[in-house]
Structure 1
Amino acid sequence: MHFSIVVDHVSFGWPDGTTVLNGLDAAFPAGRTGLIGLNGSGKSTLLKLIARELVPRSGSVSVPGVVGYLPQNVPLGAGRTVSDLLEISATRAALHAIEGGDVAEEHFTAVGDDWDVEERARAELDRLGLDHVGLDRTVGTLSGGETIMVALAAQLLKRPDVLLLDEPTNNLDLDARRRLYAAVAAWQGVLLVVSHDRALLELLDQIAELREGSVRMYGGNLTSYEEQVAAEQEAAERGVRTAEGEIRRQQRELIEARIRIDRGLRTGRKAFENKKVPKIVANGLKRKAQVSAGKQRGLHQEKLEEARDRLTEAELAVRDDAEIRIELPGTEVPAGRTVLSLSLEPRLPDGPSDGPSDGEAQVAVLETLVVRGPERIALLGPNGSGKTTLLKRIAEHGAHVPVRYLPQRLDLLDDALSVVDNVRAMAPSASVNDVRARLARFLFRGERANQAVGTLSGGERFRATLAALLSAEPPPQLLLLDEPTNNLDMASVRELAQALAAYRGALVVASHDLPFLETLGMTRWLRQDREEGLSES
């Protein structure tokens, strides 16, 4: 098999001494590969090493040709334009100068063979559903999903031989996800994608699992991977049961052997006491019996230890992945209490309207958003419609109760501080031991709780941010969550859903993950629209 990406005994660690990868060997074949693993296993770090964004402490990475890399967090800048993000501003400037009559040699050098760069850029943006986004529009006016799609267009414009995508569906609305799925399905080069998106992983040719510091390849898509792992786990659990049965058998045989030996010794002693054999003969029989007893005990003990070793080996094959245990504050909001009241500015379409046509549902546009009691509200809408802006307004102005807001970009924490210190900043009255106990439920145990937030993976950063928010004083009676399933592995999404389902405060969740929303028992579904504003869905 031809391998397109080869990772040879690579080690990497952060400056604070945290080791992420240690002597990793991996080889990724041509085609579309999904890289999966638990949060914090090193997936994003591995992608950065392959993209040469990071340099390994030791070992080497071999990648042929041009590499395109879409990171989990796209670098932003309020003054940057879409053209800057596409990395075509210099070429466009040279083209415009030539079109304006400036024939300086440096302009022709800057353009090279890329005379159709604007047309190609426009075509990529249109293909990805960004036909409304101009090349000179500032990045600061784009939604999180629009920014990701522009950044993807930038990588596709490079015509790379190898394309690396890190959680590309984060923040994408349903239409944008479908367009990204289509781009992945049509991709002819080498693709390595880190994702927890099931629909995306179903489109891939093979799954690579990064687990406990090593990579293992599984042929086929996510369903095939899960079937293979389930079969392996069933065999491993059978192996454990067999090993446990063998230990019980060896323990019985050891006990039975001891009983036989003790019975033989008692028989010899009684024979001597009854003068049936001379003392010298009895002593000889006793020594012989003791030697035999020692050999028997040693033999059975050796078999018992071998059985225990087999049990240990079998147990190691059984997956026992730690999962976060989210405990939300025990806050209960009375049913009639108003927790939120926010005046809205409806964005009605221009021109007169005679109401809905036949078969068209009446859309009730809200002028004021009012939430009473422990309502659970799902906030839907396409990228760029203003969902994040609305959540920020609620957090800053609209709530009548303690409120906490979990943003998409997880920028609430101080990168320079440890996880413990960040949580203590939000819960100053909590003791260090109490904070550490809370963090342990989010899988930050021991020295991991002392790790600087700036070195965390996307999933780890989410867990740290959520731990800080839920430890905040006073406890929140209104939670605002903006795309909370981004960066989370599947087990963590399940645990988060279970915890939120038990939360007795008010909840507003903006998400494109409909299966996740449906598990939360939403009482209202609202839709944010670019033109009309907020309406009951």
Structure 2
Amino acid sequence: MTSAITCTDLTFAWPDGEFVFDGLSFVAGPVRSGLIGRNGTGKSTLLRLIAGRLQPQQGELRIAGRLGYLPQDFTLGVDQVVAEVLGIARIRQAIAAIERGDASAANLAVVGDAWDVEERAEATLAKLGLGGIGLDRRIGQLSGGETVLLGLAARLLDRPDVLLLDEPTNNLDRDARARLYDAVEAFRGALLIVSHDRELLDRVDQIGDLRNGRIGWYGGNLSAYERAVAIEQEAAERAVRMAAADLRKQKRELAAARIKLDRRQRYGQKMWDTKREPKVVMGNRKQDAQVAAGKHRHLHLNRLATADQALTEAEAFVHDDDSIRIDLPETAVPTGREVVRLVRRIRTGQRIALEVRGPERIALQGPNGVGKTTLLRALARDPLVPCRFLPQRLDVLDNTLSIAENLAKTAPEADNNVRRARLARFLFRGREADQLVNTLSGGERFRATLAALLLAEPPPQLLILDEPTNNLDLASVAQLTDALLAYQGALIVASHDQTWLDTIGITRWWSLSADRLTDQGSPGGLAEWGSSGGLMG
């Protein structure tokens, strides 16, 4: 095996003693592997362990070949230049010095056999759509999406045998995602990707499901995984039903056996009391009955314990992936009712009214950096109906308060018991609702934020969401989908996730470019868009 990741008996715990992995073992060979799992299960932690950014308390991680790692929180200094990020700045300087006549041993040693490094760098950048940025450009002049692609280019230029990618499509627009997909499909080696991007995960060769500190591997892409899991879960639920039925049967038989033994015991006692047989005979019969009763009871108790253990084992194979439940009829908007209007005057002097009516579901799309967030915030500023805005950073909650206390701020008129009952529908049951927001995982914070928005008073008749699926695991994306399908109000959502948008019933599409906002269902532009990222006014 020329390139692989081998993990043997890996154990890792945080300083507070919380175990993430305890005896994890697996092999990821020279194929494209997708790693999925709920937020907080340790996906990013595992990649950091493989990359050597964290050290396990026990076990071994072996990498066959050269390693490349692109973390989820990849950042660069604004004053760095592209060549520095690509790791070729010194080689370029040495080549330039040699071309000027300084063919010193030091310069030759720096260059080695990398005389074509500039050509390879430019070719790599071009494949990722960065051919025009130039090797001397400063990072501060690049967009967030370009920075991520540049980080990937740096890893690919190093020709890794093993490549780790952690949520690489976050914050990438459609074009950038397409280029990353191509790079993933072209990679030859052991590739391990943590992602919630369905289009990306449908391009891998196997899926690893990280659950309870263990990885279950499934051949094929995400769609094949979901089909396999559906079959598994159907069989697991059938096994649970059979085990539960057997347990009930064993309980009934034990009860019946106890009644039968009690009757025998009462009959024996009656015979003893009436002295119808010799005392020795009755004593032997009583002793034999007690031994038989003990064996019979022990037999039924063993059967009951076996049935109970079988039910426990069967239940362990059933995934406990609860879905949030939402019923919000108060959010309904009559057809034709205006919910938001944004009026601006464009360069020609014409007044443009950007308006949304009724329970429309609008998707806002466009390249990174054109001002989608600015437009969403402008729309959320003066709505004509109750409105809630979900920003990308999920920073609408007070970190110093609990989930229940945050909901009390947005729904002050509701009774505490009512609020907690509503939070239970978002999977915060009992004491879970008392967790401080700053202790929540990414998926929990998302659910808490969504609860605060949807359960606010008055109920929102307009929801505005900015890249809501970023940093969400597949289970959380499914929960968001369920919530939005149940939501009856108007919706405006900015997202690059085309597959997800197709599932939530979008009825209207807006396309934003550097100078124009266009309704794709209507000819011409809705409004001119200023160079500073805002509607002309």
TM-score over 0.5 for the pair: yes
Structure 2 CA distance for partners of 1:60 and 1:514, relative to 1, 3 Å? same
- Please tell me the residue identity of whatever aligns with 1:278: P
- Please tell me the residue identity of whatever aligns with 2:122: R
Gaps of 5+ in 1: 348-364
Give the CA deviation at 1:119: 2.8
Contact 1:419 1:464 in 2 (8 A): no
- Please tell me the residue identity of whatever aligns with 2:51: A
- Please tell me the residue identity of whatever aligns with 1:20: V
SS in 1 for 2:146: helix
Structure 2 CA distance for partners of 1:121 and 1:464, relative to 1, 3 Å? farther
Structure 2 CA distance for partners of 1:460 and 1:271, relative to 1, 3 Å? closer
Partner of 1:46: 46
Partner of 2:527: none
Q: Per-residue displacement from partner, 1:95-138 (whole Å, max 9, x unpaired)?
A: 56766788888766665544444332322222123345444555
- What's the TM-score, normalizing by structure 2? 0.79
Structure 2 counterparts to residues 265-344 of structure 1, below 5 A: 265-269=265-269, 271=271, 276-324=276-324, 331=331, 336-343=337-344
Partner of 1:380: 365
How far apart, in 1, do the equivalents of 2:343 and 2:51 lie? 45
- Answer yes or no: is 1:486 the counterpart of 2:487: no
Contact 1:8 1:25 in 2 (8 A): yes
Contact 1:346 1:534 in 2 (8 A): no
How far apart, in 2, do the equivalents of 1:94 and 1:465 lie? 53
- Mean Cα deviation higher: 13-22 or 498-507: 13-22
- Mean Cα deviation higher: 35-44 or 398-407: 398-407
SS in 2 for 1:39: coil
Give the CA deviation at 1:21: 3.0
Contact 2:3 2:65 in 1 (8 A): no
Q: Per-residue displacement from partner, 1:270-296 (whole Å, max 9, x unpaired)?
A: 556666423453344334323322322
How far apart, in 2, do the equivalents of 1:9 and 1:48 lie? 17
How far apart, in 2, do the equivalents of 1:294 and 1:345 lie? 93
- Mean Cα deviation higher: 262-271 or 43-52: 262-271
Partner of 1:12: 12
Give the CA deviation at 1:526: 0.8
- Answer yes or no: is 1:171 the counterpart of 2:155: no
- Answer yes or no: is 1:509 the counterpart of 2:493: yes
Structure 2 CA distance for partners of 1:434 and 1:42, relative to 1, 3 Å? farther
- Mean Cα deviation higher: 324-333 or 237-246: 324-333
How far apart, in 2, do the equivalents of 1:30 and 1:367 lie? 55
Which of 366, 372, 375 matches 1:390?
Answer: 375
SS in 1 for 2:159: coil
- Mean Cα deviation higher: 302-311 or 457-466: 457-466
RMSD: 4.2
Partner of 2:34: 34
Structure 2 CA distance for partners of 1:534 and 1:442, relative to 1, 3 Å? same
- Please tell me the residue identity of whatever aligns with 2:254: L
How far apart, in 2, do the equivalents of 1:97 and 1:394 lie? 56
- Mean Cα deviation higher: 41-50 or 25-34: 25-34
Give the CA deviation at 1:529: 2.3
How far apart, in 2, do the equivalents of 1:109 and 1:440 lie? 65
Give the CA deviation at 1:491: 2.8
Q: Per-residue displacement from partner, 1:344-391 (whole Å, max 9, x unpaired)?
A: 8689xxxxxxxxxxxxxxxxx994422345442111234454434433
Give the CA deviation at 1:218: 2.7
- Please tell me the residue identity of whatever aligns with 1:33: S
- What's the TM-score, normalizing by structure 1? 0.79
How far apart, in 2, do the equivalents of 1:9 and 1:466 lie? 38
Structure 2 counterparts to residues 116-127 of structure 1, below 5 A: 116-127=116-127
Gaps of 5+ in 2: 522-537
Partner of 1:522: 506
Structure 2 CA distance for partners of 1:422 and 1:299, relative to 1, 3 Å? closer
Contact 2:8 2:60 in 1 (8 A): yes
Contact 2:360 2:507 in 1 (8 A): yes
Contact 1:325 1:442 in 2 (8 A): yes
Contact 1:329 1:470 in 2 (8 A): no
Structure 2 CA distance for partners of 1:530 and 1:257, relative to 1, 3 Å? same
- Please tell me the residue identity of whatever aligns with 1:189: G
- Mean Cα deviation higher: 136-145 or 469-478: 469-478
How far apart, in 2, do the equivalents of 1:404 and 1:444 lie? 21
Contact 2:9 2:24 in 1 (8 A): yes
Contact 1:344 1:369 in 2 (8 A): no
Q: Per-residue displacement from partner, 1:454-501 (whole Å, max 9, x unpaired)?
A: x87654554455456557788765433222122323332222122123
- Please tell me the residue identity of whatever aligns with 1:212: N
Contact 1:82 1:139 in 2 (8 A): yes
- Please tell me the residue identity of whatever aligns with 1:336: R
How far apart, in 2, do the equivalents of 1:121 and 1:426 lie? 53
How far apart, in 2, do the equivalents of 1:328 and 1:85 lie? 50
Give the CA deviation at 1:420: 5.2
How far apart, in 1, do the equivalents of 2:272 and 2:188 lie? 90
Contact 1:339 1:373 in 2 (8 A): no
SS in 1 for 2:251: helix
Structure 2 CA distance for partners of 1:460 and 1:369, relative to 1, 3 Å? same
Contact 1:346 1:367 in 2 (8 A): no
How far apart, in 2, do the equivalents of 1:408 and 1:427 lie? 19
Structure 2 CA distance for partners of 1:267 and 1:423, relative to 1, 3 Å? closer
SS in 2 for 1:63: strand
Count of residues in Structure 1 that have an aligned counterpart in Structure 2: 517
Contact 1:44 1:457 in 2 (8 A): no
- Please tell me the residue identity of whatever aligns with 2:476: S
Which of 497, 501, 508 matches 2:481?
Answer: 497
Contact 1:9 1:25 in 2 (8 A): yes
- Mean Cα deviation higher: 150-159 or 254-263: 254-263
Q: Per-residue displacement from partner, 1:252-311 (whole Å, max 9, x unpaired)?
A: 433343344344344445556666423453344334323322322222122212221122
SS in 1 for 2:64: coil
Structure 2 CA distance for partners of 1:116 and 1:435, relative to 1, 3 Å? farther
Q: Per-residue displacement from partner, 1:168-227 (whole Å, max 9, x unpaired)?
A: 233334443333222222211111111223332233222222110112333333344334
Partner of 1:371: 356
Contact 1:79 1:140 in 2 (8 A): yes
SS in 1 for 2:168: coil
Partner of 1:352: none
Partner of 1:215: 215
How far apart, in 2, do the equivalents of 1:230 and 1:440 lie? 26
- Please tell me the residue identity of whatever aligns with 1:182: D
Give the CA deviation at 1:431: 11
SS in 2 for 1:527: strand
Structure 2 counterparts to residues 144-223 of structure 1, below 5 A: 144-223=144-223
Contact 2:484 2:504 in 1 (8 A): yes
Structure 2 CA distance for partners of 1:419 and 1:116, relative to 1, 3 Å? farther
Structure 2 CA distance for partners of 1:261 and 1:498, relative to 1, 3 Å? closer
Partner of 2:533: none
Contact 2:324 2:482 in 1 (8 A): no
Structure 2 CA distance for partners of 1:405 and 1:72, relative to 1, 3 Å? farther
Give the CA deviation at 1:3: 7.3
Contact 2:79 2:139 in 1 (8 A): yes
Structure 2 CA distance for partners of 1:14 and 1:280, relative to 1, 3 Å? closer
How far apart, in 2, do the equivalents of 1:344 and 1:118 lie? 48
